[in-house]
Structure 1
Amino acid sequence: MKLENNYYKLISMHHEGLSSRFHIALRKECDVYIGHFPGDPVSPGACNIQTIKECAEQLTGKELRISTIRQCRLTAVVTPVVCPELDVIINLQSLEQGYAVTARIIDAEKTYMEYKGEMTV
C-alpha cells in the first residue's frame, strides 16, 4: 500500500543527483494514526521505513524493493501532533542491482530515525 497522500503528503522535494530532501506533512486523520494509539497517535516504525522507500522510488523513478536493512535507529517518537511536518533526507549510491540507501527523518530540532540499507530494482 502506498502511504503518500494517505499517511503523509509531499509538500516539496529538492534534489541534486542521487541526494534529496523531501518535506512532508503527516496526515493525522489517516487510519494508521486512528488505530495506532488513538488519542495519542504515534508513527509506526514500519511506516517510517515505507516512507523512506517511497521517497527513494520518487528520486530514482523506479519501483524498489528493500533487500537489506543494515541499520534502523529510531531516535525519537514521530507523532503527527508534535511534529506534523518532517524532512526525509535520502542519499543513494548506485549498486549493480539497485541502490545503497542512507536516510534520516528529521525536523529542525530532532533526528527521529536513521536508516541504512539496500534496495533493489
Structure 2
Amino acid sequence: MQLKDFYTVNNVAVTENNATANITINKDHEIFKGHFPGNPVTPGVCMMQIIKELTEGVVGKKLMMQSSSNIKFMAIINPEKTPDLVLTLNISETENGYKVKNSTTFDETVALKLTSNFIEK
C-alpha cells in the first residue's frame, strides 16, 4: 500500500473479469490535514492509486499505470461524510498488460469513472 493507513479493504469479490471492492477511507489520515483542513476531499490521484493496488491484488502482479482515459471525477469524496466506497473493476488482459474500467460509488452516487492501462513492473 503506497499510502499507509489511507484506506481499508473490507472485502473484494472477483468473478471472471470483474471485481467489486468495498473500502473505507481513513478520515483521520495525514493527507486530509492539507487537502483540505475543515473540508476534507479525497485526492483524485489517491483514488487512482487505490484502483491500481486493487487491480494488482486481483491479477497477482505488480503493475505500473501506462495510460488513463475517460477520467471523470463526478462527485467529491469527503471521508467525513462518505468514507465507504464501492469500486467496480472490469479487468481485461491485453497484449501489454491489463485494461481496467472503473466505477467508484458511494451510496447511490457515482464519484469516479476511469479507464486505465497497466503494464507489469
TM class by smaller structure = over 0.9
Q: Which residue of 1 aligns with 2:22?
A: 23
Deviation at residue 108 of structure 1 after TM alignment: 2.6
Alignment deviations for residues 58-107 of structure 1 (CA, whole Å, 9 cap, x no partner) = 11111111001112100000110121100111111110110111001112
Matches within 5 A, 1:35-74: 35-74=34-73
The secondary structure found in structure 1 opposite 2:112 is strand
Distance 1:84 1:110 in 2: 13
Q: Which residues of structure 2 form unaligned runs of 5+?
A: none
Report whether the alignment pairs 1:97 with 2:96. Answer: yes
* Number of the residue aligned with 1:116: 115
TM-score scaled by length of structure 1: 0.94
Query: How far apart are 1:34 and its partner, in Å?
Result: 1.6
Output the CA distance in 2 between the equivalents of 1:30 and 1:37.
12
Residues 38-62 of structure 1 deviation map (CA, whole Å, 9 limit, x = unaligned): 1211001101111111111111111
RMSD, matched Cα: 1.2
Secondary structure of 1:114's counterpart equals strand
Q: What TM-score comes out, normalization by structure 2 length? A: 0.94
Report the identity percentage.
28
Paired residues in the alignment total 120
Q: Which runs of 5+ in 1 are unaligned?
A: none
2: CA distance, partners of 1:70 / 1:84 = 25
What is the CA–CA distance in structure 2 between the aligned matches of 1:30 and 1:7, rounded to whole Å? 6
Displaced runs of 4 or more, over 2 A: none
User: Is this contact kept in 2: 1:18–1:59, CA < 8 A?
Assistant: no
1:79 paired with 2:78, answer yes
Q: Return the letter of the residue paired with 2:85.
A: L
Partner of 2:11: 12
CA distance in 1, matches of 2:107, 2:20: 13
Q: Shift of residue 18 of structure 1?
A: 2.5
